[in-house]
Amino acid sequence: MGDGLMDVMTKTVAEWAVAIRQGDVSSFDVVARHLEQIAAHNVDGMGIRAVIEVNPEALLEAEARDRERQSGFLRGPLHGVPVLVKDNLDTADAMQTTAGSLALEGHRAREDAEVVRRLRAAGAVIVGKANLTEWANFLSDHMPNGYSSRGGQTLNPYGPGRFDVGGSSSGSGAGVAAGFAPAAIGTETSGSILSPASANSLVGLKPTLGMVSRRGIIPIAMSQDTAGPMARTVGDAALLMSVIAGPDPRDVATQGVRWPAREDWLALRRGALQGARIGVPQAYLEGIPDDERRVFDRALSELGELGADVIACDLPKREFDFDVLVAEFPAALNAYLATVEPWLPVHSLGDVMAWNAQHAYRALRYGQAVFERAQAQRHHHLADGAYIRARLRDLRESRQAGIDAVLAAHRLDALAFVNYYGCAIAAKAGYPSITVPAGYTEEAKPVGLTLTGTAYSDVRLCQLAYDYEQATNHRRPPAM
């Protein structure tokens, strides 16, 4: 299989899956190689701190997948392949689920999140939990991306201590870039997949809300939360989506959705950009650093060279109301915490705040201003007119007066943004976005090209991104 380091840094999920299926390498060996990379550079070595906890049964799971394969049984397209999941997804195993918080230390979920259940059913080995910006970056108003009180500070392997790692799925992004797993699951409320994917030169897909079940994920806001894949290629992201997307009778957002068939996700071919119409919202070009703007401008030229019509368009850069998330957060979090073990010290947002205050030296390095704001409004905010009007206004301005209006006016297939700059309007609408590596600045800082579409255009976005990726081949691994 070649050099072990280069294998874990460059091989894709699809390549590992084929090698395991054909018997060229065992799942045990693949998982062991990635564990060796974690041992070398997570806490030791470069100190990336992308993994908050390794699955102590990962090698046993890999051996079980090998025995199944040897007997002629394959669970699915991820059979024996290691995957990281963010530490706000429930895993019913020896690993904890804490959202990076010391207040939830010791919490072990009774059942897998639906996303995790689907991964295991497809044969994946959950190799560990990824660090994150604590509470998915909803604790403090000035916490750095990638920091949690339980996991420490995740670093960007492309420039540890120099380049922002992105957040809140920081460990999911840095872990894949650093060779700790070939793919990971992140979650996004607004930018939390697209940001670290762009920062770590990865493909990140934030799906249409309801495409993927939210059950078993420590929440922020019912109206915007979703999980999604982070990987080195569009093909791998689409492969993971073909596994994790689907109905869940216990999640209302998934009900009645028409999911693409697995073959639709995997039908990625060159030529998708030929004749496609890609809009570039001019208001979102403001404030981009010059070196990143040069990379983005080149990406737009490349889209044109691949046959796309690249069209300047007008999409208002609205300041969406943070109050909607603040209003929904206490109800969502309290519902989750009501299900945790009775011996844990926290069963509500108020409990977490009190525990944090009592252990402030360890737990509140950056304060808990966002928690305090949410707690202050918990008693009436969901019932009053301000929340209802703000929620309806967000949907109207992001959908029919926002993304859908500009797509229709210019007959566009997608909108193009640099990095995660358009994440807020897509998140409010519940619409999909995919980011793909577009190159690097002169300082070798990764820059991403993000494509956003209307509801349930996830497969179309994958096709467009795949064509761009295959033609440009910009991504290169960090120097570990």
Q: Token pair for residue 31?
A: 């998982």
Asked about 129 being catalytic, the answer comes back as no
Best CA proximity match to 284, nearest among 252, 316, 329, 326? 316
CB neighbour list of residue 433: distance below 8 Å, 6 or more residues apart: 194, 205, 206, 417, 422, 423, 426, 450, 451, 452, 453, 461
Instruction: Return the amino acid letter for 1.
Output: M
Alpha-carbon gap, residue 140 to 134, rounded angstroms? 9
Alpha-carbon gap, residue 375 to 224, rounded angstroms? 19
Rounded to 5 degrees, φ, ψ at 341 are: -55, 140
What is the DSSP-derived secondary structure letter of residue 448? E
Asked about 206 being catalytic, the answer comes back as no
End-to-end Cα, the chain, rounded Å: 19
Q: Within 10 Å of residue 301's Cβ, how many Cβ atoms?
A: 11
Q: Which of 192, 198, 201, 457 is catalytic?
A: 192
Q: Token pair for residue 432?
A: 């999909």
Q: Which of 11, 26, 86, 190 is catalytic?
A: 86
Q: Which of 26, 101, 168, 398 is catalytic?
A: 168
Best CA proximity match to 182, nearest among 434, 11, 1, 6? 11
Asked about 27 being catalytic, the answer comes back as no
Burial of 327 (0-12, 13-18, 19+ CB in 10 A): buried
Q: Token pair for residue 28?
A: 């045990």
Q: Locate tokens 């290629």: which residue?
A: 233
Q: Hey, is 124 helix, strand or coil?
A: coil
Instruction: Return the amino acid letter for 417.
Output: F
- Identify whether the C-beta of residue 111 lies closer than 8 Å to the C-beta of residue 92: yes
Q: Token pair for residue 323?
A: 């109050």
Q: Token pair for residue 154?
A: 């995740």
Alpha-carbon gap, residue 302 to 314, rounded angstroms? 21
- Identify whether the C-beta of residue 447 lies closer than 8 Å to the C-beta of residue 441: yes
Catalytic residue annotation:
86, 168, 192
